[in-house]
C-alpha cells in the first residue's frame, strides 16, 4: 500500500506530538483566502490544516407530476380512460380490455414514453403506438403523481362528481392503491375532505364504505388537515345537514375532535347554523361534544356574539357551567364578550343569560385586569338611534353591589373607564344612582378621580354630569398634586382670539364659579409650568403666527361678502324710484316712511361694520405690524363682523317689511320674527352652554345665586347689542326732519299725476 508523502500526514497516520501551536479559524471566503496565504508564508516543520464545508440541507423530494390524461379523466369521471391508463399489465399480456375512444388514443400518442421524457429533444419526436406509449409504467407509479396542489387522482375524482361513473372511478383507483383513501394533499385534505367540500354526499358515502371495508373508517373521518379540521368541519361550513347526520351516524364521537382547537360546534355557531348545532349535540354519543374554539375560546364565546337563542341552547347543554368561566388567550370570558354588545342590559339578552348562569364570573379579570363591568363601561350604544337600551352595569350592580368598586390593572373603576371612553350614558347612570356615591371620588393608580379625567379629556357633557353631583369632591389632588381646577387651567389655550366656544374654557369657568381650589403650588411656578406645557417659551410664537395667517384668510371672506351685499342694496332700494319726469324724480318712492328710514340706517351700519372688519383682517394678516398689534386687529375684526351680521339681519327684516306690509302685513311680520334666528345661531354655543350649566350650578350654588348670575349674564348681553337701537332712533329723527318731509308717500301719486 502506498504511503502518504512525509509532508502530508492524515489523521489515520498521525501520531501524538507535543508542540507549541496557535489556532486560527476562518469562517468566510475572504478569511479562508487570507489563511491560505498565511500558511504558504509560514516556515514551520509541522502544520495542521482543517478545511470544512457546509452542505446545504437535503431537499424534500418533490412528488412526480400527475399524467395530464389521468388528471383529465379523473376530473371527468371517465372510468374507461382511467382503467386503460392504469391497467397496463393486462393490456401487455393480451387480456381483454375495452379500448377507449380514438380521440383519447390520439391524445395519448402525443405523449412520449416515460423513459424519454427527460430528454427535451425527444419530446418533439413523433410518439409511438398508443399501446406502447407507457410500456413499463405501472398503475402504482401513475397514481403517485400529484397536481400542483398535491391532489392525487382520487382527490380529483372525489371533488368533481358523485354519479355512478365517478363512484366506479373511485373504486378503481382505490383498488389499485389501497393507501389513496388517507393520502393528503399539500393542505392536508384527504379525498374525503374534498368530496365533502364539493358537497358530493354520495361520494362521501362511497368513500366511507371503502374505508369500512378496510376497517379504517374511524381513522379516516377523524383525520385532520393542516387547519386541524376533520371532514365534519367541512360539512358544517358547507351547511350540509344531511352530510353531518351521515358522518355522525358513522362515528358518533366525531364531534369531539379535535379535542383542542376549533370544534365543529364552534364553527356551526359562528356561522349561525342553528339546526346543525342541534344535530351535533343530539346525535353525538351520550351528548358528549367538544365546545373548544380558536385561541382558547369556547363555543359560548361565539354564541354570545350571535344572539340570545344560541346562547340559551349552549347554557342548557353545558349543565356544569364551565363554559361561562373559561377564558381565551386574552383572558376574556364569554361575559366579557357579551358585556360590550349593544342592548346587553336588556332582559333575555346574551349578557343577561351568561351573568345569571354564573354571577361570580363578573369578578374574573382579563389579562389587562379588565372585568366585564369595565368592558360594559367602555362600550358605546352606537346603534341606539330610536331606542335606548339598558346598560348591563345596572344589572351587574343590582346583583353584585361590590362589583362597582372593581379596579383594573391601572386602578380604574368602571366610572374611570366610562369617562375616558366618553360614555355619557354610563356616567349619567352612575351620577343618578345614590347607591354609587361611594365610588365617585375613588382614585386610580395616578390619583385621578373621574372628575380629574373628565377635565383632562375636555368632555363637557361628562363634566357637567359629575359637576352636578354634590357627592363629587372638587378639590382632591392626584399624584402630581393637581386638582381638577389646576388641570382645567393647563388645558385652556393661550389664545389670541375668542375662545369662549372651547369646552376647556367652560370647564374652567364652571369650576371657578363653584369656588374650586387649586393644588398647593406657587403661582409663579404654575405659570412657568403652564408656559412649558404649551411651549410658550419655545416655538409658540411661530404657531401663533401660523394660526393668525390661516385665521385671517378665512375671517376676511365674511365681511367682504356682507359689504358687497349692503353696497348693492343701497342702490337697489325696496319700492323703487320715482320717474325722472316728476318732481324729485329719481328719489326713492318709499322715502318718508319710518321702516324705509330704519332700513337705510341698518344697511349703512352693516356696510360700515363689514368694511371695518375687512380692514382689521387685512391689518391682522400684515407682516408690517408686530404680533401684539396683529392680535388686536384680529379681535376687532371678529367683533365688527358679528356687528355687521346683526345689522344686516335687521336691514333684511326692515326691507322686507317695507315692501310687503302694505299688502301682506302678516307675512312681513312672520319674516321679521324669523330673521333673528341667524343672530341666535351666531351665539348658539354661548347660550347653549349657559343653559346646560344651569342645573349643575343650581345644585352646587343654590337657586338664588344661580338666578342672580344668569340675570346678570342676560342683561350684559342685551346691553352689548343695544347699539342696534340707534337704527330706530336715527330713523325717527330722519323721518321728522324737514328735509324728509319734502316728499311724503301720500304726495307721491299726486305729484306724478
- The residue among 664, 605, 673 whose CA lies nearest residue 640 is 605
Whether the predicted pLDDT of 12 surpasses 80: no
Q: Would you state the cell numbers that stand for residue 739, as one nine-digit string?
A: 328735509
How confident is the model over 577-592, as a mean pLDDT? 72
Average the pLDDT over 32-39 and give the result: 64
Ranges of beta strands (E only) in 571-635 are: none
What is the per-residue pLDDT for 572? 83
Cell 340707534 identifies what position?
A: 726
pLDDT higher at 571 or 473: 473
Looking at per-residue pLDDT, the higher value among 378 and 537 belongs to 378
Query: Domain residue spans in the chain?
Result: 67-108+138-226, 414-538, 558-682+721-736
Q: What is the pLDDT of residue 436?
A: 97
Window from 112-116, 233-237, 271-275, 659-663 with minimum mean pLDDT: 112-116
Q: Would you say 150 and 161 are in contact if contact means Cβ atoms under 8 Å apart?
A: no
Q: What is the pLDDT of residue 105?
A: 78
**Least confident window among 40-44, 359-363, 517-521:** 40-44
Per-residue pLDDT, 616: 93
Higher pLDDT, 55 or 557: 557
- Tell the residue number behind the cell numbers 373628565, with chain if given: 454
Asked if the 414-538 domain carries CATH number 1.25.40.20, the reply is: yes
Contact 373, 393 (CB under 8 A): yes
Least confident of 2-11, 298-307, 413-422, 591-600: 2-11
Task: Compute the distance between CA of residue 160 and CA of residue 629 in angstroms, rounded to an integer.
Answer: 84
Q: Residues 517, 483: contact at Cβ < 8 Å?
A: yes
In this predicted structure, what is the pLDDT of residue 101? Answer: 73
- 409 versus 58: the higher-pLDDT residue is 409
- Nearest 5°: phi and psi at 577? -125, 160
CB within 8 Å of 498: residues ≥ 6 apart: 635, 638
Per-residue pLDDT averaged across 525-537, rounded? 73
Q: What is the pLDDT of residues 211-224, one digit of tens each?
A: 999 999 999 999 99
351573568: which residue's cell? 355
Q: Which residue has the higher pLDDT, 442 or 387?
A: 442
Q: Which residue has the higher pLDDT, 532 or 510?
A: 510
Does 512 have pLDDT greater than 60? yes
What pLDDT sits at residue 248? 98
Cell numbers for 342: 349593544
Residue 39: the pLDDT is: 59
Q: Residue 720 pLDDT > 90, yes or no?
A: no
Torsion of CA 517, 521, 523, 524, to 10 degrees: -160
Contacts 24+ apart (CB under 8 A), 272-277: 272/306, 272/307, 272/310, 273/236, 273/239, 274/309, 274/310, 274/313, 275/241, 276/236, 276/239, 276/241, 276/244, 277/310, 277/313
Residue bearing the bigger pLDDT, 155 or 501: 155
468-478 mean pLDDT: 96
- Checking if the pLDDT of 8 tops 70, the result is no
Q: Which residue has the higher pLDDT, 352 or 579?
A: 352
Average pLDDT of the residues in 637-663:
91
Q: What percent of the chain has pLDDT over 70?
A: 80
pLDDT-based confidence at residue 51 (cuts at 50, 70, 90): low
d(CA 644, CA 512): 33
Q: What is the pLDDT of residue 683?
A: 85
* CA 416 from centre of chain: 23
Dihedral (CA of 744, 746, 747, 752) sign: positive
Tell me what the pLDDT averaged over the chain comes to: 84
pLDDT greater than 60 at residue 724: yes
pTM higher than the cut 0.85: no
Share of the chain above pLDDT 90, in %: 58
Take residue 157 and report the three cell numbers written for it: 375524482
Interval 698-719: pLDDT, tens: 999 999 999 999 999 999 988 8
**Which H or E run includes 322?**
none
- Counting every residue written for the chain, the total comes to 753
pLDDT at 56 over 50: yes
Higher pLDDT, 334 or 622: 334
pLDDT tier for residue 336 given thresholds of 50, 70 and 90: very high
Q: How far apart are CA 334 and CA 315, in angstroms?
A: 11
The three-class DSSP label of residue 61 is coil
Superfamily of domain 67-108+138-226: Ankyrin repeat-containing domain (1.25.40.20)
Domains 67-108+138-226 and 414-538 share a fold: yes
pLDDT in tens, 372-395: 999 999 997 554 444 457 899 999
Between 83-97, 258-272, 712-726, the lowest mean confidence (pLDDT) is in 83-97
* DSSP summary character for residue 111: S
What nine digits make up the cell of 330?
386574552
Amino acid at each position: 500500500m502506498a504511503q502518504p508523502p512525509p509532508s502530508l500526514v492524515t489523521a489515520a497516520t498521525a501520531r501524538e506530538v507535543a508542540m507549541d501551536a496557535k489556532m486560527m479559524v476562518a469562517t468566510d471566503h475572504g478569511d479562508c483566502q487570507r489563511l491560505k496565504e498565511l500558511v504558504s508564508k509560514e516556515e514551520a516543520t509541522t502544520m495542521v490544516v482543517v478545511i470544512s464545508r457546509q452542505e446545504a440541507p437535503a431537499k424534500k423530494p418533490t412528488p412526480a407530476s400527475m399524467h395530464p390524461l389521468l388528471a383529465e379523466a379523473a376530473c371527468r369521471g371517465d372510468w374507461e380512460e382511467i382503467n386503460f391508463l392504469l391497467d397496463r399489465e393486462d393490456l401487455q399480456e393480451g387480456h381483454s380490455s375495452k379500448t377507449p375512444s380514438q380521440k383519447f388514443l390520439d391524445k395519448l400518442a402525443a405523449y412520449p414514453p416515460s423513459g424519454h421524457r427527460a430528454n427535451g429533444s425527444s419530446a418533439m419526436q413523433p410518439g409511438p403506438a398508443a399501446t406502447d406509449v407507457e410500456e413499463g409504467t405501472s398503475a402504482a407509479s401513475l397514481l403517485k403523481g400529484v397536481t400542483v396542489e398535491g391532489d392525487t387522482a382520487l382527490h380529483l375524482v372525489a371533488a368533481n362528481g358523485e354519479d355512478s361513473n365517478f363512484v366506479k372511478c373511485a373504486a378503481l383507483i382505490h383498488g389499485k392503491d389501497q393507501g389513496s383513501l388517507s393520502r393528503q394533499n399539500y393542505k392536508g385534505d384527504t379525498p374525503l375532505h374534498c368530496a365533502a367540500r364539493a358537497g358530493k354526499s354520495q361520494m362521501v358515502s362511497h368513500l366511507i364504505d371503502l374505508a369500512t371495508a378496510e376497517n379504517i373508517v374511524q381513522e379516516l373521518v377523524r383525520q385532520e388537515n393542516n387547519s386541524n379540521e376533520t371532514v365534519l368541519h367541512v360539512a358544517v361550513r358547507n351547511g350540509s345537514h344531511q352530510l353531518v347526520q351521515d358522518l355522525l351516524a358513522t362515528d358518533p364521537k366525531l364531534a369531539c375532535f379535535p379535542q383542542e382547537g376549533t370544534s365543529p360546534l364552534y364553527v356551526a355557531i359562528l356561522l349561525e347554523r342553528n339546526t346543525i348545532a342541534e344535530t351535533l349535540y343530539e346525535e353525538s354519543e351520550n351528548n358528549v361534544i367538544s365546545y373548544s374554539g380558536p385561541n382558547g375560546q369556547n363555543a359560548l364565546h361565539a354564541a354570545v356574539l350571535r344572539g340570545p337563542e344560541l346562547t340559551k341552547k349552549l347554557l342548557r347543554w353545558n349543565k356544569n357551567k364551565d363554559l361561562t368561566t373559561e377564558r381565551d388567550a386574552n383572558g376574556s370570558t364569554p361575559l366579557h364578550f357579551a358585556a360590550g354588545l349593544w342592548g346587553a342590559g336588556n332582559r333575555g339578552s346574551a349578557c343577561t343569560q351568561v351573568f345569571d348562569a354564573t354571577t361570580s364570573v363578573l369578578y374574573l379579570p382579563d389579562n389587562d385586569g379588565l372585568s366585564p363591568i369595565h368592558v360594559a363601561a367602555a362600550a358605546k350604544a352606537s346603534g341606539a338611534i330610536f331606542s335606548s337600551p339598558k346598560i348591563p352595569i345596572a344589572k351587574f350592580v343590582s346583583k353584585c353591589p361590590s362589583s362597582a368598586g372593581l379596579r383594573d390593572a391601572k386602578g380604574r373603576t368602571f366610572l374611570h373607564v366610562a369617562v375616558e371612553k366618553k360614555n355619557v350614558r354610563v356616567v349619567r347612570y352612575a351620577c343618578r344612582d345614590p347607591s354609587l356615591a361611594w365610588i365617585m371620588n375613588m382614585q386610580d393608580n395616578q390619583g385621578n378621580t373621574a372628575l380629574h379625567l373628565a377635565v383632562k379629556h375636555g368632555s363637557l357633557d361628562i363634566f357637567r354630569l359629575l359637576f352636578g353631583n354634590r357627592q363629587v369632591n372638587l378639590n382632591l389632588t392626584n399624584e402630581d398634586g393637581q386638582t381638577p381646577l389646576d388641570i382645567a387651567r393647563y388645558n385652556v389655550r393661550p389664545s389670541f382670539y375668542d375662545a369662549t366656544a372651547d369646552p376647556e374654557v367652560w370647564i374652567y369657568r364652571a369650576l371657578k364659579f363653584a369656588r374650586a381650589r387649586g393644588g398647593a403650588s406657587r403661582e409663579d411656578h404654575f405659570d412657568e409650568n403652564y408656559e412649558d406645557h404649551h411651549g410658550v417659551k419655545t416655538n409658540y410664537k411661530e404657531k401663533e403666527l401660523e394660526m393668525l395667517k390661516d385665521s385671517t384668510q378665512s375671517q376676511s371672506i365674511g365681511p367682504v361678502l356682507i359689504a358687497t351685499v349692503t353696497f348693492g342694496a343701497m342702490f337697489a332700494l325696496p319700492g323703487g324710484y320715482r320717474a325722472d319726469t316728476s318732481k324729485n324724480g329719481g328719489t326713492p318712492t318709499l322715502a318718508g316712511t319710518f321702516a324705509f328710514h330704519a332700513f337705510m340706517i341698518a344697511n349703512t351700519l352693516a356696510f360700515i361694520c363689514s368694511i371695518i372688519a375687512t380692514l382689521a383682517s387685512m391689518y391682522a394678516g400684515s407682516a408690517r405690524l408686530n404680533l401684539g398689534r396683529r392680535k388686536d386687529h384680529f379681535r376687532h375684526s371678529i367683533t365688527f363682523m358679528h356687528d355687521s351680521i346683526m345689522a344686516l339681519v335687521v336691514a333684511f327684516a326692515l326691507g322686507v317689511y317695507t315692501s310687503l306690509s302694505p299688502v301682506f302685513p302678516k307675512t312681513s311680520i312672520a319674516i321679521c320674527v324669523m330673521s333673528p334666528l341667524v343672530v341666535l345661531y351666531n351665539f348658539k354655543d354661548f347660550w347653549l352652554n349657559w343653559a346646560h350649566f344651569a342645573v349643575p350650578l343650581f345644585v352646587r350654588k343654590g337657586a338664588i345665586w344661580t338666578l342672580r348670575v344668569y340675570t346678570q349674564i342676560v342683561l350684559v348681553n342685551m346691553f352689548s347689542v343695544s347699539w342696534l337701537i340707534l337704527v330706530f332712533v336715527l330713523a325717527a329723527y330722519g323721518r321728522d326732519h324737514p328735509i324728509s318731509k319734502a316728499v311724503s308717500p301720500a304726495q307721491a301719486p299726486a305729484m306724478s299725476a
